[in-house]
Chain A
Amino acid sequence: MPETHFEQELEKLEVTIMRMFTLTERSLNKAIIAMGERDDDRAQEVIEEDEQLNNLEVEVDDITLHILALWQPVAKDLRFITGCSRIATNLERIGDQATNICERVLMLNQKPKLDLMNSVEALAEKALTMFRNVIGAFSDQDSEAAMQVCRTDSDVDDMNIRIMRKLIDFMITENVIVERAVHCIIIANALERVGDLSTNIGEDVVFISRGINVKHCDNYDRFSF
């Protein structure tokens, strides 16, 4: 059966969102590499590329508004459209976090590397994995995989808290590292936000595919599909 005009519009939305996912993944990955390799150029690139994500978010807003106004979609179509709109917001924010990380990387790179960066890198790995998993959950419309992402968010939260405690202890004993430690805390917080935002996207995926709202639920184990 040939695609209807409406289906073409939905496809346009999906393609745009997938581009946002791809660009966001690239930025975040690059930011984390820039951090590990202390690479100023790469960090600078991430900061400059953020503009593209901002533009794509606006594009998604336009497409969703257009579809809603012209077709008054219902059921799964409606959930997909409103879900994509929220996902775009979350992706743009993840892009902002990649930028935040890179701004701190540039400052950190002016001084010798702190040993504590190892645990920040471990956190980065975890946050990136969460984000990649939620991309898969979205493209497969797999609500169980999405819930799994939501469930790992507490691990990222815990890692962030442990890093913060360690850094605070260090700052008290060794005041030469205070400035770098602050940058590290900001990076760790940015990574923790990536976890939160990936969780939001996971919740949107569940909403799109199942029509169930799992936002702000204290125990994701209540839901399994």
Chain B
Amino acid sequence: MNDAQVKMATRELNVYYGEHRALQDVSIPFYAHQVTALIGPSGCGKSTYIRCLNRMNDLVPNSRIEGEVYLDREEIYSTSMDAVELRRRVGMVFQKPNPFPKSVYENVAYAPRIHGLARKGTEMDQLVETSLRKAGLWEEVGDRLSLPATSLSGGQQQRLCIARALAVEPEVLLMDEPASALDPIATQKIEDLIYELKSRLTIIIVTHNMQQASRVSDRTAFFYMGEVVEVDDTQTLFTRPSKKQTEEYITGRFG
């Protein structure tokens, strides 16, 4: 498994909010076409970390980052890397579904239009359909593309956000607790989708749900107080973790 290609990686990543160090020397490789789950107690730095992977943390005032983040061996904080292009290649889905207050169609078409990925109307129609299909939503909304996105159910909205992210054909998809606001059926659909999508891209997902982490991911990283305690194959980490802190956390005996 580990001779898989490294798609992304961080090296000695440190993040500060003012004086407070939120991440300390975090080094993790992410392998192509694998799902890596980030777990750990609230406030341990998972969201901070995942936001560094497409430079979303640049937008946070007072934050400072040290260390390196690589996408295909290229350092993403180097001046040669264009942040807009980076965010096209490394897409993100958030905890709460956040569709634009526009139609279903426009939600998906918006980013490709900005990036000039599709020009003619039929080309765009095709791209919208393909993206909605990849997100497993076409069957449900294919005949209602002009409806406002906000009229969809929460689970549908979240898959719409995934379709929106997929429309620009990212290579990596970051998901920060993508199912925490959803019911079990919608959650199941997202998990199935993650499983499907990994043949196309590399996925990094933050989750508070241990069962979800163990179901969807190939590798798991356990964070605690801004540090990575353990990274391993998910199966190993959940059956015989090598660190006591990991064992305590995943068995619910923490603190």
Whether A75 pairs with B211 at a CB distance below 8 angstroms is no
Binary per-residue interface labels of chain B (233-244) against chain A in the complex, 1 for a CB within 8 Å, 0 otherwise: 000001111000
Question: Which A residue's beta carbon lies closest to that of B210?
Answer: A74
Report yes or no: B239 in contact with A79, Cβ–Cβ below 8 A. Answer: yes
| Inter-chain contacts of A6 with B (CB < 8 A) | 252
A163 smallest CB distance to B (angstroms): 41
B233–chain A nearest beta-carbon distance, Å: 13
- Known contacts: A211-B239, A211-B240. The answer to whether A75 contacts B247 by CB under 8 A is yes
Number of A-B contacts (CB under 8 A): 31
* Docked pose: A4 CA to B253 CA in angstroms: 9
With a cutoff of 8 Å between Cβ atoms, the chain B residues found around residue A76 in the complex are: 240, 247, 251
Interface residues in A67-126 by Cβ distance below 8 A to B read: 72-79
How many interface residues does A have (CB within 8 Å)? Answer: 13
Chain B residue numbers with a CB within 8 Å of A74 are: 210, 214, 238-239, 250-251
Task: Give, as a whole number of angstroms, the nearest-CB distance from A90 to chain B.
Answer: 21
Taken together as a complex, chains A and B put the C-alpha atoms of A36 and B251 apart, in Å, by 49
* A75–B240 touching, CB < 8 Å: yes
Q: A211-B239, A211-B240 are in contact. Are A75 and B250 (CB under 8 A)?
A: yes
Tell me, rounded to whole Å, the shortest Cβ–Cβ distance linking B195 to chain A: 19
In the bound complex, what is the Cα–Cα distance between A76 and B253 (angstroms)? 12
What residues of B have a CB within 8 angstroms of the CB of A79 in the complex?
A: 239-240
Provide the residues of chain A in CB contact with B238, threshold 8 Å: 74-75, 78
Residue among A6, A75, A77, A79 with max Cβ neighbours from chain B (10 Å): A75
Chain B residues, CB < 8 A from A75: 238-241, 246-247, 250-251
The CA of A163 and the CA of B17, in the complex, are separated in Å by: 77
Contacts of B246 in A (CB 8 A): 75
Interface positions, chain B 163-220, Cβ under 8 Å from A, are 210-211, 214
How distant is the Cα of A73 from the Cα of B247 in the complex, in angstroms? Answer: 11
Q: Look across to chain A and name the residue whose beta carbon is closest to the beta carbon of B241.
A: A75
Assembled-state Cα–Cα distance A122/B246 (Å): 48
What does the 1/0 interface line of A206-217 toward B look like (CB < 8 Å)? 000011100000
| Nearest-CB residue, chain A, relative to B242 | A211
Hey, which chain A residues are within 8 Å of B214, CB to CB? 74
Residues of A within 8 A of B210 (CB): 72, 74
Instruction: Please list the 10 inter-chain residue pairs (A to B) with the smallest Cβ-Cβ separation, ordered nearest first.
Output: A211-B240, A74-B238, A74-B250, A75-B247, A77-B251, A75-B251, A72-B211, A75-B241, A75-B250, A211-B239
Could you list some 26 contacts between A and B, CB below 8 A?
A4-B252, A6-B252, A72-B210, A72-B211, A73-B251, A74-B210, A74-B214, A74-B238, A74-B239, A74-B250, A75-B238, A75-B239, A75-B240, A75-B241, A75-B246, A75-B247, A75-B250, A75-B251, A76-B240, A76-B251, A77-B251, A78-B239, A79-B239, A79-B240, A211-B239, A212-B240
In the complex, besides A72-B211, A74-B214, A211-B239, 13 extra interface pairs with C-beta distance below 8 angstroms are: A4-B252, A72-B210, A74-B210, A74-B250, A75-B239, A75-B241, A75-B250, A75-B251, A76-B240, A76-B247, A76-B251, A79-B240, A211-B240
